[in-house]
Chain A
Amino acid sequence: MKISSNWLKAHLDFDGGAADLSAALLKIGFEVAGVQRLGPQFSGVVVGKVLAKDKHPNADKLAVCVVDDGAQKWNVVCGAPNVAAGQTIAFARIGAVLPGNFKIEGRKLRGVESQGMICSRAELGLPKDNDGIWVLGEGPTLGSDVGSQLGPADDVLEVEITSNRPDCLSHRGLARELAAALGKSLKPLELPREEPTGGTFPVRVEDAAACPYYSARLIEGVKVGPSSDSARRRLEAVGLRPINGVVDVTNLILHDAGQPLHAFDADKLEGGTLIVRRSRAGEKLLALDHKTYDLPEGLLVIADERKVVALAGVMGGTQTAVTESTTRVVLESACFLASEVRRSSQKTHLRSDSSYRFERGVDPAGAAPASARAAALIVETAGGRAGAAAVVGAPTSPNSEIRATAARLNAILGATFSADEINRVLRAIAAEFKAEGDALVFRAPSWRRDLATANDLAEEIGRFLGYERIPYRLGALAPRAATLTPVEKTSRRVRARLAALGYAEACNYDMLSEKTLAAARLPAEGLPRVAKPLSEDWAVMRPTLLPGLLKNAAYNLSRGVDAVRLFEVGKAYSQKDGALVEGWRVAGLLLGPVLDARWQSARAPRAGFADAKAAVEELLAGGALTWAKPGEGAAGRWVCDPLFHPVNALRALLDGAPVATVGWLHPRAARAFDLEREGAVLFEVNLDRLAARPAAAARFNDFSRLPVSRRDLALVLDKARTYAEVEAAVHGCKLAELQGVLLFDVYEGKNIPDGKKSLAVRLTFGRADRTLTDAEVAGFVEKIVAALGARLGAVLRG
């Protein structure tokens, strides 16, 4: 909210500038986001008159003017297109200082002496009104100071008022808060004596719950003109445009006292009664912002006998607005329920200074005095006779009592403020506060509906006496065991392991576009959606992390990063039986050279299925891992399956339960993401299933310290046979001495018959108690070769 320093000081004696004011406000919880200095920020600028304008001899766009400053005539070069003889202008004499410490000196411009400058508003630091010089109206005396005609300098503070403090949304309200904090008194406010001299305007309230108080005051015989300069300056200081002497008063009172008011042209109200009622189907309001609002049924409105004339507490209509031709005014001052105004404002997307205050809560006791003050001000500005207010209802009941003790308030704060200090603060907020022995009996004033509990009072004590006086306490809370959740424990392990494997961690939004889903071959139907997405790019909750990584890969590839290793830990979403299911996943993507070693070999090895499989094996280490084709048997169908290559993808099962998918990207998806040149390998692991496994410290397994024997076998077998079958056949021999099987070559082509391939495996044998003899090892190998021959038809390569 904009607070004018001058206006504030009309309510409170405060010695100090904007910086002091900002500091005082910050200390009690009101941040000042910025300060704007108003008024002249220049000197030596006087009212002058352009007597003559001639062409500049050396420049087409410049003119040479003769300016009279009341005392003397000056030659001035001017480049403004709108300068003309006969204008009254702002003339910066030699020696003047303009904003930005720009000093005016006599100097030659393209060969012609210029003895000063004709100023534009922008050059004077004032809001711009045209592209040329500032043309003053007739009236100001030649030679008089331009600055002094702009009124006194002022600082406008942008104060952030938290939503619990609507009572500070006005100059007097904020002054009252400062006065309480600083132990000062507000300057007294002179309320006009009620001397009704005019008639009344009848009112009917149809919903007293939504509008507990409504007053309408008829002011007759007004002559609407502009407001006084000082009134206009106040309004402009808080960013409002002056409209006319009546409307301006309602705005002045809103910003002075915090009570929203509205003025109707009584002659445009049809039927002679103001009615507070609910809107009916099909009703519209052409509001003061010149937009037409279709009102949904049931909003609280002000109406005459024929039409809606205002959306209660939000905005009035143009049809019944006070204009220059208005002679009879109806002044509304009312209490509307915060929730009603909030609903109206939300349904119509219409916000105003009035709705902002009503939504947060307006002092119910403020409506009557505001009406009296406004009426007196209108009469003062526009003449006329004010009648008595027609009043329906009464301001709501007083706030309830809070009982506390100094000890209780100190306990909430952990402080040791004295009873005297505490009493002083509470009395500054509520004059009728009493201390009855140890008991503090506090009833908040009508404008402080936020004060209802002992904690609320403790905050007041802390704010006014200073949070810095509350000690830093560490000893009161004993050490405690601190644990991680299973998911966090697991995801830390997963992150560390993938980083060790060379993957950089990515971080994507949880929402995706339908387009991205389609590119990834994933159906959007049945997925949870955001009701009002920021854009179509973020409309659907992601069912898997993989499309995000694919987008990241495409992005990096298009920017010249050609080796991509990314992983992400995050949530995936689905819907089941009308309920949302969210679960933790870890996904990874590999693309491009495995090692950045291009200068060693022209075509460095590219990331392939085995690389991605390694990551999954690393993540699932420690359990019984088996593999199956996605969609078959225990592997089940997963939402991410269509994204994978239909043949070259596998599901990992941990202790028999599916837990991860790994494979090549489906070629169609690769094309859709512009990744077809490299292709990408991907994996996604269900992190929740990993986390659900009991975590245990690694167990030591004893191993033989004796030398081992190694034997290499080159096998030739049918191409359709898999390596897994070879390994199974070797292990099928159940040799206790077999310590390891290592595949070290896969070969097809020259010297191998068609339809066959060669696999070379290294077998390692050993015992824990003694070394093996050559004969023993030969026996083992013989047994294994026989098994491979019998089970797979494999023969040793000649």
Chain B
Amino acid sequence: MEPTTTRDAWQQACARVESSLRADGVDLIATAASLEDLEGRRVEFLGRSSALTLLLKDLKNLSLEDRRELGPRAQELKASIERKFALRHAALESDADGAALLKDAVDLTLPSLRPPRGRLHPLTTTLHAIADIFQRMGYSWAEGPFAEDERHNFSALNIPDDHPARDSHDTFYLSGLPLLLRTHTSTVQIRAMEAQQPPIRIVCPGRVFRHEQIDATHSAVFHQVEGLVVDERVGFADLKGHLQTFLESLLGQGTKTRFRPSYFPFTEPSTEVDAKCFFCSGAGCASCKHTGWIELLGAGVVNPKVLSNVGWDPEKWSGFAFGIGVERVAMLLHGVPDIRDFYVNDLRFLNQFDEDLV
């Protein structure tokens, strides 16, 4: 082919290349039927002896001015053709793969294979959720023995021997030992106060025992989280602030609460704390026994007698204490109707609960 030397001729040649990409209005690249077909057309349009390659070579015959103008246009034309080829190539390749790999098809509906997945017991997650909120408020974890003496379980807590308050603490005594199974974790408060000096801020989570007939809402073994704060100038208002913060952390910001007067021998004044029913928003439902409120905590200002009992000066120190039942919270939050299910350890039950509660 004769080299193109004039600007006009070059431009005409360029237009011819562009129009050669189509035949009867059909895009020859986009309609290549196979990878082989496409390769043939690539040689035709982009090969060493293609019109486009020659055209690019002929650029050198043009004036510097023309080259500056037409050069980039030619490069752009080449790039656009290459893009078209790449696009078609990818499409043809994936068609070819699809056909070739069809024979490797497996049944993707077969059940998934999973490594065994462990879970923490819902009572553990609930207990941790409760205790961890208090930890974030500066309460240290404290523990004590499950088998306790009368002093730590009762008398040091201002529950004297012949007091009717003991009636609500049906107690397991151990044969031949001066011990009982603790009926509440308030025992740990006494132990902690005996072991250190004020101030103190502790949370005492753990297992407790009551000699009660077992039914859907009573278990002879259950768990509590109790807390104790003793410091200078602590009053009922601090109890309200802390427990409100706790309940909002557990149940959500803006949780409405109600502090009702109540009685515990080891606190004075005493209170029971209800949260606005989080199932019916207070309208009344089975969960709140149609009262609109759910009782969650018992609490109060530490009875000065308890401080005196451990040798702390009640004139200088004051505090508050509280307790919450773990099973009750777990039953409410997870909708478990029967407390006994927590102690059967049926894997169909245990596997329903995830690690996280809040």
Contacts and interface: CB of A to CB of B under 8 A. Distances in A.
Given A29-B262, A462-B261, A507 B343 contact: yes
B237 A580 contact: no
B116 A595 contact: yes
Contacts of B212: 534
Contacts of A596: 113-114, 116
B139 interface: yes
A126 interface: no
A597 B260 CA distance: 56
A356 to B, nearest CB: 8
Contacts of B117: 502
Contacts of A531: 172-175
Contacts of A360: 164
A752 interface: no
Nearest to A461: B269
B207 interface: yes
A338 interface: yes
A504 interface: yes
A103 B142 CA distance: 64
B236 to A, nearest CB: 5
A767 interface: no
A459 B173 contact: no
Interface string B236-272: 1110111011000000000000111111010011110
B319 to A, nearest CB: 10
A342 B166 CA distance: 11
Contacts of A436: none
B236 A508 contact: no
A281 B209 CA distance: 36
Interface in A1-51: 26-29, 31
Contacts of B118: 498-505, 565, 567
Contact of A413 (B162, B209, B236, B350): B236
A522 to B, nearest CB: 18
B165 interface: yes
A318 B234 CA distance: 56
Interface residues of A, number: 93
A528 interface: yes
A456 B343 CA distance: 40
Contacts of B138: 477, 479-482
A165 B345 contact: no
Given A459-B269, A468-B259, A502 B351 contact: no
A704 interface: no
A481 B241 CA distance: 19
B177 interface: yes
B39 to A, nearest CB: 41
Given A499-B119, A541-B174, A473 B240 contact: yes
B262 A476 contact: no
Contacts of A473: 235, 237-238, 240-241
B175 A528 contact: yes
B236 A510 contact: no
Nearest to A162: B263
User: Which one of A339, A473, A495 has the greatest number of beta carbons of chain B within 10 Å?
Assistant: A473
Contact of B173 (A413, A504, A530): A530
A487 B143 contact: yes
A595 B115 contact: yes
A472 B263 contact: no
B348 interface: yes
Nearest to B271: A467
B146 interface: yes
Given A474-B242, A504-B351, A573-B147, A29 B236 contact: no
Contacts of B176: 529
User: Which one of A343, A488, A531 has the greatest number of beta carbons of chain B within 10 Å?
Assistant: A531
B236 A415 contact: yes
Contact of B116 (A412, A471, A594): A594
Nearest to B302: A455
A555 B346 contact: yes
B240 A343 contact: no
Contact of B143 (A162, A488, A503): A488
A453 interface: yes
Interface SS, B side: mixed
Contacts of A459: 261, 268-270
Given A459-B269, A476-B234, A477-B238, A483 B141 contact: yes
A487 B188 CA distance: 15
Interface stretch (A322-330, A393-401, A441-449, A556-564): A556-564
Contacts of A600: 113
B355 interface: yes
Contacts of A756: none
Given A481-B138, A555-B345, A534 B116 contact: no
A648 interface: no
Interface in B179-218: 179, 181, 201, 207, 209, 211-214
B237 A472 contact: yes
Nearest to A165: B263
Interface in B263-308: 263, 265, 268-271, 301, 303-305
Given A162-B263, A458-B301, A488-B143, A595 B113 contact: yes
A599 B245 contact: no
Contacts of A272: none
B233 A476 contact: yes
Contact of A29 (B207, B261, B345): B261
Contact of B244 (A359, A472, A476, A477): A472
User: Which one of A414, A470, A510 has the greatest number of beta carbons of chain B within 10 Å?
Assistant: A414
A148 interface: no
Given A472-B241, A561-B348, A343 B261 contact: no
Interface in B93-143: 110-111, 113-121, 123-124, 128, 134-143
User: Which one of A498, A507, A508, A599 has the greatest number of beta carbons of chain B within 10 Å?
Assistant: A507
A244 interface: no
Contacts of B261: 27-29, 459, 462-463, 467
Contacts of B303: 455
Given A528-B177, A563-B116, A596-B116, A571 B146 contact: yes
A552 interface: yes
B111 A599 contact: yes
Interface in B325-354: 342-348, 350-351
The 3 A-B pairs at the shortest CB distance, nearest first, are namely A414-B237, A502-B116, A414-B235
19 contacts: A29-B261, A163-B167, A164-B263, A343-B162, A359-B164, A415-B235, A458-B268, A458-B269, A467-B259, A471-B241, A476-B238, A501-B118, A502-B117, A505-B118, A510-B146, A529-B175, A556-B346, A571-B146, A580-B174
Given A488-B141, A529-B175, A556-B347, 12 more contacts: A163-B163, A163-B168, A458-B268, A470-B240, A472-B240, A474-B242, A482-B134, A487-B143, A501-B118, A530-B174, A531-B173, A541-B174
Interface of B: 110-111, 113-121, 123-124, 128, 134-143, 145-147, 162-165, 167-168, 172-177, 179, 181, 201, 207, 209, 211-214, 220-221, 229, 231, 233-238, 240-242, 244-245, 258-263, 265, 268-271, 301, 303-305, 318, 342-348, 350-351, 355
